[in-house]
Structure 1
Amino acid sequence: MSPESSGLARAIRLSLLLAVAAPAVSLPAAAQEAPGEEARTLDTVQVTGTRIRRAELEGQVPVHTVSRQDIERTGLTSIGDVIQQLTGSGSALNTKFNSSGNFGFPPDGSGVGAGSAQVDLRHLGSKRVLVLVDGIRWVNESSASGVGASTDLNTIPLAIVDRIEVLEDGASSLYGSDAIAGVVNIITRRDFDGAQVTLDYGQFSEGDGTSKGIDLAWGRTTDRSSLFLSLSHTDQDVVYARDREQSRFPVPGTGVALGSSGIPAGRFIVTDPNTGATLDLVPDATGPAYDPAQTGCDRSDGFHCFTDDDRFNFAEYNLLMTPSKRSGAFGQFRFQISPGLQWYAKALVNRRESTNQAAPEPIFLGPEGATGNPFADEITISALNPYNPFGFDLVSGESLILIGRRPLEGGARVFEQKVDTRYVNTGLEGSFQAGDSLWFWDVNLAWSRNEARQTNHGSYNIRNIALALGDPAACAAEPGCVPLDIFGAGSITPEMLGWIQPVVRDESENELRLVSANLSGDLFNLPAGAVGFAAGLEYREYEGWYQPDPLTVRGWYNGVPSLPTSGSYDVGEAYVELDVPIFGEGALGKGLNLNLAGRYSDYSTFGGEFTPKYGLRWQVSEDFLLRATYAEGFRAPSIGELYGSDSRFDAQLIDPCSEPFLDPSVESNCRTLGVPPGFQQANPQISITTGGNRELEPERARSFSTGFVWSPWFATNASWAERLDLEVTFYRHDIQGPIQALSAQTQLDLCVRTLSPDYCDGIGRASTGGINAFNNRLTNLGSIKTDGWDVDLYWTLPETRAGRFAFTWQNTFVGRYEAVGGAGQLQPRRPGIEVEDSAIPEWASTASLDWSRQAWNASWTARHVSDLIEDCGNAVSFPVCSDPANGQNRLGSTTYHDVQAGYRFDWQQGLTLTAGVNNVFEKEPPICLSCSLNGYDASTYDIPGGRFWYLRADLRF
C-alpha cells in the first residue's frame, strides 16, 4: 500500500471512530441533563496542562498566566513581543530582526520568517513550542520563503486575547508533537456585553518607530447565546539603523574596517597573464585604464590597492524596527441548544504587511566569491567587453580571483511581505450526568491556512550579468541584452539596470485541518476520592509548499538560491489521562494525587509513537503544595525539514587557514586541504548549501520538573499582606536526536583540525585556497540538555487609604544548556554566552509593582538580563573588545525600567486614559561584536536609544 493510500485509510478509520464517538457522548446529554445542572459546571475549570476538568487540578503543573491587564501594562502590540518578555523565553524572531536578504534560508526549510514574531521557551527553539488557541492547534507560518515549523504570533490579533496560559513543561502526552519545551495557549475573549473602542499611539523619543492602533469590539450575551466580534488594525513604522549611533556600522567601534568587500567602485583581485602579478585593485573612478607596467600599489592608471578603508558600510541601510501593518477580524458565537448541549463557531481573517530592507545587493564574481552559482563562480569577462579596462580576458580561477561590486545604482534590496491567515473552528460541547459524576465532552472541527507572498526589489539576474559581461557578440544575439560596465562607482546606466535587475516574487503556504473529540469526568470513587478521567481522539492533516520565482528556480537569481518545496502528512492520535487520589486528608497532609497520561500517535511519515507522562501533586497543607512531573515527548519532522529542497544561507565564517588567524598546529592540515602559504580570506561571507532530509527521525525528549507552591497562612488576610505566594520550580529537558545542522563554523573548525570526512565532505576550496562550496545538511544530531530554576513571588497588600499595591517578581536561572553534535562535538551555545545572534542569560528577572486607588492606577516594571560573554572574532584588535587577551567581549548586565499610569472616567460604561514609557532611563543594549546586524542581540534587548512612550484611550459603551 502506498503512503498516500495508507494515510487515507487511517483518515477513514479515525473519521469513522470520531463519528461513532460523538453521538455516544452526546446522547446522554439530552436524556439525563437536569434543567438546573448547568450551574454545576461553574465548579470545574479547564486549565492548560491537563485535560481533566476539575477545579482542584489547578497547580498540577507550572502554568504562567498572562492576564489582559498584564498585556496592557507592557504597552506592546504583538503577542510575540509580550511572551518574549517572560523570563523563561529564549531567542526568537520578532520585528527587530531585519532578516530578509541577510541570513538566507535556515537548514530546516522554514524560510527566513521575515516580519513574524515567534515564541521560544527554555531556549529550545520556537519549533519545539506548541501554540494553541482555545486549546486547538494553530497553523504554522508560511514566510514566503519556506514552509515553517513555528507559529507566527503576528497572525493572531492581540485585541481578541483574554489571557495567555504558558506551560513551560513537556506536554506531548496531552497535546502531541511540538510540545517538548512547552505550550502557549491563547484564550480568546468570549462573554462580552456592549461595545469597546481602543486607540493606541506610541513613538520612540528620537521621533521614529511610531506605532498606531485601533481595536473595535462588540458583544452581546443572553441566557442562551453569546456573540463577540472584533476588528483591529496596528501600524508599526520603521526605525533605521543609521539613526542610532550603536548601529551605524557593521561592528560598533570599528568603523568600516569590518565592512563588506563588495564595494560601490568594485574590488578586483586579478592575475595579469602577461606579467604573472596578482593585484587587489579598486577603481578610483569610472573608466580606469589598467597599466600592466604598474605592478605595485603606487599607481596612476585610475586604480589603487584595496585597503580596509575601501570596505562598504552596509549597516546604514539596515532596519532596527521593520515596518508592519496588521489587520484582523474575529468572530465567536455560542448557542445553548439545550441545558447540556452547546454549539460554537469561530472565524478569523488576518492580514500582515511587512517590509525588510538590506543594503544594495553585492555582485560577487570569481572562485573566491563562493556563491555556489556557476554563472558567478565560473564567469569569463571578455577582453572585448567595451568597458573591460584590463585588456585581457578575466577567466575565473586563472586571471580572475574575485570581483566584489555593489551597485548603489540599483538601490537597496526591499522585501515586501503580504501574509494572510484564515481560520474556521466549529464544534459541540456538552455535559451529562452519569451516576454521581458530571461528564463533559466536546467535538471540534478546525481548518486554518497561512499563505504568504514576498516581492523583492533590488536584486539581480546573474545569468544576464554574465551574458552582459561576456563576448559582445553573444550579448547582441540576445534580445534586450546591454553590455555591462561594473568597473567603477556609478558606471551602471538605467539601460544596463533594465537588463540585469528583475522583480522577484516568491510565495508559500501552510495548511492545517483537524478533527478532535474529548471526554472528561470521574470514573469511580476510591477511599481518597474520585478518579478523574479524560480521553480523546484527534486527526490532523498538514500540507505545505514553497514556490520561488521562476528566475530562482532556473538558477539565474544573484541572491540566495532555492528550489520549490512541497509535502504533506497526516497523523491520527488517541490519548488518555487519569488523576488517581492516593490518600486523602490525614496525617500525611491534605491529599496526594497521581496523574498518569499517555498518547499514541500514528504518523504517515514514520509510523507510531507513544508518549507517557507521570505527575504527583501532594497538598501537604492548606498553604503548601509539592508537585513533580516526568514526561516523555517527541517532535515529528516538519514538512520543510523532510522535503525542503536545496537552498542557501550566508554565514560570516572565519577560515582557520587564513592569515592572521592561522594556528601553527593546523598549518600542515591547511596545506593538505590545498590552502597555499600566505592565504588571506578575501570574503568572510560564505554561502552554505542546505536542504531537507527524508530520512529524519522524530526528536525524542524527556522532561522533568519539580517544585512547590507556598501560600503561607500568616500572610493571608494579614495586616501586611492580603495574599503571598511563592512558587519554585526546577526543570530539566533532555532532547535526543535533535533535528538541526551542525554549526557551520564548528564544522569548518573541526574539518581543519581533524581532516575527517565527517566534517570535510561537502567543503570545497578553489585553487586559490578560498572556500567555494560548503554543504551543511539537516540530520539528527546528538542531544540538547538544559536545566534551571524558576522562582516567582506574588504579593498582594491589603487596601488602605493610600490604595492597593501588588508586587510580582519572576526569575529564571539557567543552570545548564549543552548541545552536542552527532560525533560528540560540543556546540558553542551555553548559559552566559552570546553566540549566533542569540543568548542564554544565566539569570533573567522581571519585577512589577502595581498600584490602584479609586479611578487611578499605575505600575512600575523592571526587566533584568544578566551579563554575557562573546567571542570578539575579527574585532579582537579593536578597543571595543573588552578582553582582547582572551579574545572575549563582555556584554554587561542590563536592566530596563517601564512605567505606566492611567485614570478611569465615569463616562458611558467607562473611559480609561493610559500613558506609559518603556525604557525610561534610555538604557542602551550592550554592544555585540558577533551579532550579524545592528550591533546588538535583537531577541534579548530593546532597541538602542529605545525610550518608547505611548498613550491609550479605552472607551466602553
Structure 2
Amino acid sequence: MSVVRRTRLSAAVRGALLFAALPGLALAQQEEARQLDRIEVTGTRIKKAEIEGQTPVQVITRAQIERSGLTSIGDVLQQITASGSALNTKFNSSGNFGFPPDGGGVAAGATTVDLRHLGPKRVLVLVDGVRWVNESSGSGVGGVVDLNTIPLAIVERIEVLEDGASSIYGSDAIAGVVNVITRRNYEGAGLSVQYGEYGKGDGETGSVDVSFGGTGDRYSFFLGASYTEQKRVASKDREQSSVPVPGTGVALGSSAIPAGRFIFRDPNTGAVLDLVPNPGVTNLVYNPAETGCVRTDSFHCFTAADRFNYAEYNLLVTPNRRKNLFGQVRFDLTESTTWYFKALYNNRFSINQAAAEPFFLGTAVPTNFWADNVVISASNPYNPFGFDLVAGPGGNFILGGRRPLEGGPRVFEQDVDTFYVATGLEGSFSAGDRLFFWDVNAVRSASEANQTNFGSYNARRFSVALGPLAACQAEPGCVPLNIFGAGTITRAMLDYIQPVVRDYSDNKLSLFSANLSGDLFDLPAGAMSFAAGVEYREYKGSYRPDTLTVTGEYNGVPSLPTSGKYDVSEYFVELSIPLLADAAIAERIDLSLAGRYSDYSTSGGETTAKVGLRWQVNDEFLLRGTWAEGFRAPTIGELFGAASGFDAVLNDPCSAPIAGGLQANCAALGVPPGYVQPNPQISVVTGGNRNLDPETADSVSAGFVWSPAFGAGAAWSERLDFEFTWYRHKLEGGIQALDAQTQLNLCVQTLDPAFCGGITRNQLGAISNFSNFLTNFGRIDSRGWDFDVFWLLPQGDWGQFGFTWRNTWVDKYEAVGADGSVQPQTVGREVNNSGIPEWSSNLTAEWRLGSWFASWTARHKSDLWELCGNARTFPVCRDPANNRNRLGSTTFHDLQFGVNTGWWGNAKFTLGVNNVFQKEPPICLSCTLNGYDASNYDIPGGRFWYLRADFKL
C-alpha cells in the first residue's frame, strides 16, 4: 500500500466527526502522516482516501453513545438532527395502533430510524456494510429493521450517510444509510454496568455488558454478552398524560364506560333513552313510565361526566428486556487472505398495555357482525328492561358501550428472537503494479416474534352470552353475561368470553455478495479507481394470527394470514475518475459514477445511477455534490399482506355541530340532522396490494467543507471546521395508503367517489365500513439543509474544550396523493403523532482535564402547529377561532460528568442527567396517546439520571 499526504481538509472531513474524544483528536492529528490511502467509507465501495468527504457522512462514536446515557441504537439515532418520526419504546403501540395499512403490523417494543422525514422503510440499515434482517412484529410481516435487535454493546461506531445511495447498496437507501460498525480489534476483558431512572423514581433502566477479545499474529476475536432492562412508566403518573386529552379532563374520554351506556327505543312508549346505571346499585330497576332524564329508577341519563378516562391505564415508557450474545473471529489464511465468521443471538421481551378493551354493541358504532346484530334477550337473567334489545336494521337497540374493567387491561407481550450468522473471505492481490481488494460474503439471518394478548374478548361468545338464555345453555361453557352496572362481570363469565390470543410472525434473509475494487489505470490527475460486485438476496416472511383472529371472533376484527417470498439479483459498478490535480483552480477534482441493476422476482428489473463531484479547491475548502436515482421495492407485507382491520381514532366531519358549508354534503351521504358521533374509534379495513410498483426517487445534494487556516493552531482555536449540505429528495409512486382522517375529510368536502368509494354509512349516519388499501401513492417532495460547526480549543490550564453544533432546517415537505390531493403532513405541522420541525439543533460542549471530563448538550426543536379537533372548545386550544393549537419550541438540556480513575481495571465512572431542567414537552391535542409527540420529545416530567461504571482489564 502506498502512503499519501493527508491535508488539513481531509483530516477535517474525517476527524471533525470525532469530537466526542478530545484526546483521540489530538492523537489522530499526530498520526495523519501515517494514514493509509485504502480506507472504507460508508457511501462508496471504493477503498481510497480521496473518496473521503464526497458525501455527507455523520459518525457517531462509541464515546458519544456512552455520553447519551441511552441503551438503544435507535434511541441514539432518533436524537440526530436529520432524524424524523419513528417508532420507539415511548409508543405504547399494540393495543392502540392495531394493523397499519402496510401489511407489516406494529412491531411493538421495536425502535426504528427515519432520515429526512421520508419514513423508516426508506432508510437502509447495514451492519459492517451488510444488510440486516427486517423486524418480525407479531402482527404482520415487517419491512424495516428493529434496531433493538442490534445490541449497543457490540458497536464500535455508527456511520450515517444522509444521501441517496440505491446505486451503491440497492433498494431502501432512498433517504440514507445507517451502517453499524462492530467492535473488532479488542484486547482484554471489559465490564460495563449502568443504572438510571426518572426523577420520580420510575422507568428504571439497567444494563450489563461483558466484552472479551484478543489479537495474535494471524487472528483476532471479540466476544460480547449484554443484558438490558427498561421498566415501565405509567401514564397516570404524569399530569400531562393522565387524561385522554390534556386540559379537557374526561370530557373527551370514551363513551364505553365500566357501568355501561345504553341507547335504545322503548317499544312500549317509543321514547329514545340514553341511560347509565346508577353507581352502587346491584339490583337494577327500570321504570318505563319515566321517559325523560328526571328519573327515580336505577338509571340516569348519560353526560360527559360519565365518560371513561382510558389514559390512566396506558404507558408512557413500555417495559423492554433484551439479552444477546455476539462473537466474531478473523483469521489470516495467508498474508493477503482473511477468513471471518460472525454470529449473534438477540432476544427481546417487551410489553404494551392499554385500558380494558371497550365493547360497542348496536348500529350506532358499527364494529363487527356479532356486535352490530346482537340481541340482549329479555330472557337474559340480568336484562333489567324486560324486553329484547335488538340491534341491526329495524331494531330498537342503538348503542351499548361497556368497558369491562373486571377483565383487566389489555396486555400485549412480545417475545422476539433474532439470529444472525455471517462468514466470508476478504483479501487483496497484485496485478502488475496495481493492488486490488476483494471480498465474498454469505449471510443467513432470521427474526421470529410471538405476541400474546391478554384482556381481549371473543365477539361471538359475547353475543351468545347476552342472547336468549336457551341459546347460551345449549353451548358448552356459556355463562349468561351481565353488562349492566360496574363490577357485574364474574370470573365465570370472563372465562367464557375472554381468550388468550397468540400471533406469530417471522422474517428471513439469505444473502450472498462478492466485490472487487482497485485502480484500473493512470490518468494525468491520478489513478482511475473502480468497484464492482454482485449480490443475491432472498426474503421470506409470514404472519400467522390466532385462529380467533382469522375467524373474526377476536373482538370481531378479522386479520388473515400472510405468507410470501421473493429474491433479487443485483450487479453494480462504481468509478472514481480524477479530472484535475495540482491546478490553479483546484488542488483536486474527482468525478464519481455508479450504476446498479436489480432484478426482482416480483417487480422485474430496476436500474439506478449516481453522479458525484468532489472539488478540493485547496487545503482549506472542499465543494461536493451528488445526484442519485433511488428506488424501494415493495416488501412482503406490502405485497402479500392480507386484508385486516384496525380501530382508527377519527373525527367525523358530519358529527354535530357540522362546520359551515358541509351540512348539504353530509345529508347527501345519508347523515340525518343532529347526528353525533358516539365514538371516535372507527374500524378500518386495510391490506397489501400485489400490483404495487417500486417507489422511485431522485436525490440531489450539494455543499462544502471549510477548515480555515486562521482557525488552526491559533491561540483561540486548535481547529475549526464548517460543513454545509443542501439536499432534495423527490419520491414518485410512494407506497402508502391515504391517511384515513384525510380520506374521510375529503369525502365529506368533495363527495368524490375516489375518496368516498370505500366508506359506507348505516341508516343512523354512522360509518359502517371504511376501506383503506395500499397503493402507489403519488409523490413526496422534501428539501432542506444542514449546517454544522466543529471547534476544538487549545489545551490550557483549565483543560481542553470542544464544541459541536449540528443543525438541520427543513425547507419543504409535500406529499401528494395519486389523485392530486395534498396530504396534511408538512413542515411545522403535527399530524398523526408526528411532526416535522422546521429547525432541529444539537449543541454539545465538552471539557477534559487530565482524568476528568464533562459535557453539556442542548437539543432543540422549533415550534409546530396542529388542529385542535374535538378540543377546540376548551381553553387549552390556543386559537379556537381557527381550530389551531401551537406546540411551542422546546429545548432539552443534558449534562454528564465523569472520571477515569486508573483503579480496579482502569475504572471509569460517569454520572449523567438528561433533561436537567425537567422541560415538559408541548401539549399535543391531536396525538392519540398520552398528549404528546413521542417521536420528537422526552416524556413529561422526564428528568432522567444515570450512573455508569466501565472496567477494562
CA distance in 1, matches of 2:297, 2:61: 70
After TM superposition, give the deviation of residue 275 of structure 1 in Å.
2.3
Q: Secondary structure at the match of 1:369?
A: coil
**Partner AA of 2:446 in structure 1:** R
The within-5 A match list for 1:157-176 is 157-176=151-170
Partner of 2:668: 672
Question: What SS does the corresponding residue of 2:950 show, helix, strand or coil?
Answer: strand
2:733 to 727, 731, 737: 737
Whether 1:261 and 2:255 are equivalent positions in the alignment is: yes
- Residue among 874, 893, 901 paired with 1:897: 893
Matched positions, count? 917
Within 2, Cα distance between the matches of 1:777 and 1:381?
A: 35
**Residues of 1 paired with 2:616 and 2:785: CA distance?**
21
Given that 2:369 and 2:556 are in contact with CA atoms closer than 8 Å, whether structure 1 keeps it comes out as: no
Residue matched to 1:491: 488
Q: Is the 8 A contact 1:516 1:536 kept in 2?
A: yes
* Map of 2:377 onto structure 1: 382
Q: Structure 2: which amino acid aligns with 1:548?
A: P
**Offset, 1:402:** 1.1
1:102 corresponding residue in structure 2: 96
Partner amino acid, structure 1, of 2:137: S
Indicate conservation of the 8 Å contact 1:287/1:488, yes or no.
Answer: no
Helix, strand or coil at the partner of 1:622: coil
TM-score by length of 2: 0.95
Q: How much does 1:379 deviate?
A: 1.5
Q: 2:73 aligns with which of 51, 56, 79?
A: 79
Mean Cα displacement is larger for which, 499-508 or 284-293? 284-293
Q: 1:197 aligns with which of 191, 194, 215?
A: 191
The sequence identity of aligned pairs, in percent, is 66
**Structure 2 residue aligned with 1:409:** 406
Q: Work out the CA distance in 2 between the residues paired with 1:205 and 1:748.
A: 42
Deviation at 1:286, TM superposition (A): 4.1
Per the alignment, in what secondary structure is the counterpart of residue 43 of structure 1? coil
Deviation at 1:542, TM superposition (A): 0.2
Does the 8 A contact of 2:370 with 2:556 survive in 1?
Answer: no
Structure-1 residue corresponding to 2:923: 927
Give how far 1:559 is off: 6.4
CA distance in 2, matches of 1:366, 1:844: 48
The answer as to 2:506 corresponding to 1:509 is: yes
1:291 Cα deviation after fit: 2.0
Q: Which residue of 1 aligns with 2:359?
A: 363
Q: Does the CA contact (< 8 Å) of 1:143 and 1:508 recur in 2?
A: yes
The 8 Å contact of residues 441 and 518 in structure 1, kept in 2 or not, is answered as yes
What's the secondary structure of 1:141's corresponding residue? coil
Q: Does 1:217 align with 2:211?
A: yes
Residue 276 of structure 1 is matched in structure 2 by: 270
How far apart, CA to CA, are the structure 2 residues paired with 1:788 and 1:953? 40
Alpha-carbon distance between aligned partners in 1 of 2:284 and 2:743, rounded to the nearest angstrom: 42
Whether 2:696 is the aligned partner of 1:704: answer no
Secondary structure at the residue paired with 2:81? coil
Task: Give the deviation of 1:802 after TM superposition.
Answer: 1.2
CA shift digits 1:733-752 (9 cap, x unpaired): 00001011111111111111
Give the 5 Å matches for 1:53-452: 53-284=47-278, 285-371=281-367, 373-397=368-392, 398-452=395-449
Report whether the alignment pairs 1:763 with 2:759.
Answer: yes
Counterpart position of 1:686: 682
Q: Deviations over 1:672-716 (max 9, x none)?
A: 211111111111111111000001111111100000000111112
CA contact (8 A) 2:551 2:558 kept: no
Cα displacement (A) at 1:434 = 1.5
* Alpha-carbon distance in 1 for matches of 2:648, 2:434: 61
Structure 2, unaligned stretches of length 5 or more? Answer: 1-32
The structure-2 alpha-carbon separation of the partners of 1:697 and 1:846, relative to structure 1 and needing over 3 Å to count, comes to: same
Alignment check: 8 A CA contact 1:104 1:560 kept: no
What do residues 194-228 of structure 1 show as CA deviations (whole Å, max 9, x unaligned)?
A: 00000001011100001111000000111210010
Find the aligned partners of 1:759 and 1:307 in 2 and give their Cα distance.
34
1:585 is aligned with what amino acid? D
What amino acid is aligned across from residue 930 of structure 1 in structure 2?
Answer: S
Runs of 5+ unmatched residues, structure 1: 1-38
Provide Cα deviations, 1:365-414, integer angstroms capped at 9, x if missing partner. 1122221x201112222221111122222111321111110011000111
Contact 2:258/2:404, CA 8 A, preserved across alignment: yes
Q: Which residue of 1 aligns with 2:8?
A: none
Does the CA-based 8 Å contact 1:522-1:533 persist in structure 2? yes
Do the aligned residues in 2 keep the contact of 1:459 with 1:559 (CA within 8 Å)? no
Within 5 Å, which residues of 2 pair with 1:533-682? 533-558=530-555, 560-660=557-657, 662-682=658-678
User: Residue in 2 aligned with 1:17?
Assistant: none
TM-score normalised by the chain length of structure 1: 0.95
Whole-Å separation in 1 of the counterparts to 2:817 and 2:947 = 49
Counterparts of 1:286 and 1:759, CA distance in 2: 48
Cα shift readout 1:746-786 (whole Å, capped 9, x = no counterpart): 11111112222111112111111111110111101111110
CA distance in 2, matches of 1:892, 1:287: 52
- The 2-side partners of 1:516 and 1:247 are apart by 49
Give, in whole Å, the separation in 1 of the partners of 2:338 and 2:483. Answer: 70
Partners of 1:287 and 1:487 within 8 A in 2: no
Tell me if 1:852 matches 2:848: yes
Contact 2:206/2:228 (<8 A) preserved: yes
Shift in Å, 1:664? 3.9
Distance 1:862 1:236 in 2: 24
Match of 1:798 in 2: 794
Alpha-carbon distance in structure 2 between the residues aligned to 1:41 and 1:759: 60
Q: 1:560 and 1:321, CA in 2 relative to 1: closer, same or farther beyond 3 A?
A: farther
Specify the alignment match of 2:867 in structure 1: 871
SS at match of 1:70: helix
Give the Cα separation in 1 of the matches to 2:853 and 2:660.
Answer: 66
1:713 aligns with 709
Post-superposition offset of 1:42: 4.0
C-alpha separation in 1, matches of 2:283 and 2:110: 45
RMSD: 1.2
Conserved in 1, the CA contact under 8 Å of 2:36 and 2:49? Answer: no
SS in 1 for 2:167: helix
Task: Write out aligned runs for 1:27-46 (5 A).
Answer: 42-46=36-40
Residue 470 of structure 1 corresponds to 467
> Partner of 1:923: helix, strand, or coil?
coil
Letter in 2 for 1:213: S
Residues in 1 aligned to 2:284 and 2:164: alpha-carbon distance in whole angstroms: 65
CA distance in 2, matches of 1:719, 1:438: 43
Residues in 2 aligned to 1:909 and 1:411: alpha-carbon distance in whole angstroms = 49
Tell me the equivalent position of 1:818: 814
CA contact (8 A) 1:835 1:930 kept: yes
Deviation at residue 552 of structure 1 after TM alignment: 0.9
- What residue number does 2:944 align with? 948
2:507 aligned partner, one-letter code: N
Q: Name 1:18's counterpart in structure 2.
A: none
